[in-house]
Chains A and B, each alone.
Chain A
Amino acid sequence: MRRPLVTTLLCVSGAALVGAIGSTTACTIELHEPDGGVRATTILSPDQGEFTTVSPVFERRCGTLDCHGQVGRPLRIYSGLGLRMPNDAGNTPGSNATTPEEITANYLAVVGLEPEQMTRVIAGIDPPRSLLILAKPLLLESHKGGPAIATTGDPAETCITSWINDGIGPPVATGLNKKACTDAVSGF
């Protein structure tokens, strides 16, 4: 059976998405098939600009070199302390802060892990916890890395959920919880 190849993930920020409520980004995944046919699926995802505040949570909770900070692992996470994107600036693990390009790559990894499910969540059909980015660290699904987020009262979930809810819009959107995002990386 032929498999289509995902070759590009194109995203357009908030205002360009007609009809969207809240801070949302529309991404189009182009599927190029070997016979030259092109199919496209438009997905909805939380705001890319706000992700700059959310990315450190994924970097510190998920992106260590022995977990998702590995090239061969799904949900690849780049970070200043972990895996670096190939670069000419001399950035190596532990040497410099996470770059904007790495944050963009992290965003695409997060929203592109389950593009259809992300779309359902942003459309208000399914809850944020139905996403693997929350279900696995919360151990709602099997996760080899164990409980990366506590099931109750963990600011990491508060941060990520507030970012997702902001993409869903009213009535669940209450704004990105920046304090929770900061608290979530404290001590990590």
Chain B
Amino acid sequence: MKKIILLVLLPCCGDPVTSGEINALPQENPLIPVGEFHRAGQPCVLCHNPNGPASSDDFSVAGTVFAQPQTAVGVDNATVAFTDTQGTSFTVQTNCVGNFFVTKAQYDPSFPIFVRVFKNGLSRTMQGQVGRERSCAQCHNDPLSGTQQVYSSVGHISLYLSTDNPPPPSSTCPVSPVLQ
């Protein structure tokens, strides 16, 4: 007599790829509450998407602007300007830790998009286009020295050159604008 075994497939716990990427991120800084200042320099849209743990804030694009390549000090009040493939533009300001984020309700660009960052007359234009990635930090991360990551990472976004003397970070920021 044949036995019939029924397998009941339960809804899974979410996308294992995304979960793995989120789990691999540095932990929350206990000195910075969850909110607009948290997780500077990390890939925001991993969580801030319709299927992520922060789905209530669905970002179309988000990232962090730091001062210089060799330091992780957030730049406040920098303008990040986007132009998408349809010619539609949108600008957003960085907060005092350098974070910026755009919700889909504000601007849902048609990729690829072109990006420029500027402040006080200083402007930096991204050399290539963003093909489809909504988290700037997926590519703009700091590679571990001596690893293969140096061949695929462009480093964090920085407004000033390493030889520049940037203005001091915000003194009124409720959290430290220096990444720790």
Residues 164-188 of A contacting B (Cβ, < 8 Å) = 188
**CB-contact partner of B128 in A71, A145, A188, under 8 A:** A188
Inside 8 A of A146's CB, which chain B residues have their CB? Answer: 110-112, 132
Interface membership of B26, Cβ < 8 A:
no
Find the A residue at minimum CB distance from B143.
Answer: A92
Inside 8 A of B110's CB, which chain A residues have their CB? Answer: 146
Shortest Cβ distance from residue A180 to the other chain B in the assembled complex, whole angstroms: 19
From B46-54, B73-81, B148-156, give the one contacting chain A.
B148-156
Assess whether B128 is in contact with A81, with CB atoms less than 8 Å apart.
yes
Assess whether A92 is in contact with B132, with CB atoms less than 8 Å apart.
no
Total count of chain B residues near the partner, CB < 8 A? 19
Inside 8 A of A145's CB, which chain B residues have their CB? Answer: 111, 131-132
Do A92 and B131 form a contact, CB below 8 Å, given A66-B138, A66-B139, A146-B111? no
From A17-25, A30-38, A83-91, A120-128, give the one contacting chain B.
A83-91
Total count of chain A residues near the partner, CB < 8 A? 26
A19-57: contact bitstring with B at CB < 8 Å (1 yes, 0 no)? 000000000000000000000000000000000000000
Inside 8 A of A14's CB, which chain B residues have their CB? Answer: none
Assess whether B151 is in contact with A92, with CB atoms less than 8 Å apart.
yes
Assess whether B154 is in contact with A94, with CB atoms less than 8 Å apart.
yes
Assess whether B153 is in contact with A93, with CB atoms less than 8 Å apart.
yes
Assess whether A64 is in contact with B128, with CB atoms less than 8 Å apart.
yes
Interface centre among A66, A91, A147 (most CB of B within 10 A): A66
Shortest Cβ distance from residue A150 to the other chain B in the assembled complex, whole angstroms: 9
Assess whether A93 is in contact with B151, with CB atoms less than 8 Å apart.
yes
Assess whether A93 is in contact with B154, with CB atoms less than 8 Å apart.
yes
Interface membership of A3, Cβ < 8 A:
no
Interface membership of B130, Cβ < 8 A:
yes
- Complex formed: what's the CA distance from A92 to B153 in Å? 8
Total contacts A to B, CB within 8 angstroms?
A: 62
B137-163: contact bitstring with A at CB < 8 Å (1 yes, 0 no)? 011000000001011111000000000
Assess whether A86 is in contact with B151, with CB atoms less than 8 Å apart.
yes
Interface membership of B89, Cβ < 8 A:
no
Assess whether B128 is in contact with A92, with CB atoms less than 8 Å apart.
no
Do A66 and B133 form a contact, CB below 8 Å, given A60-B128, A81-B127, A188-B128? yes
Inside 8 A of A91's CB, which chain B residues have their CB? Answer: 151
Residues 118-137 of B contacting A (Cβ, < 8 Å) = 127-133
Interface membership of A70, Cβ < 8 A:
yes
Interface membership of A109, Cβ < 8 A:
no
- Complex formed: what's the CA distance from A88 to B63 in Å? 31
Inside 8 A of B85's CB, which chain A residues have their CB? Answer: 147
Interface membership of A155, Cβ < 8 A:
no
- Complex formed: what's the CA distance from A148 to B131 in Å? 8
Shortest Cβ distance from residue B119 to the other chain A in the assembled complex, whole angstroms: 21
Q: Which A-B residue pairs are the 3 nearest by beta carbons?
A: A66-B133, A67-B131, A65-B139
A-B contact pairs, 26 of them (CB 8 A): A62-B131, A64-B130, A65-B138, A65-B153, A66-B138, A66-B139, A71-B148, A81-B128, A83-B151, A83-B152, A84-B152, A85-B151, A86-B151, A91-B151, A92-B150, A92-B153, A93-B152, A93-B153, A93-B154, A94-B127, A144-B132, A146-B110, A146-B132, A147-B85, A148-B112, A148-B131
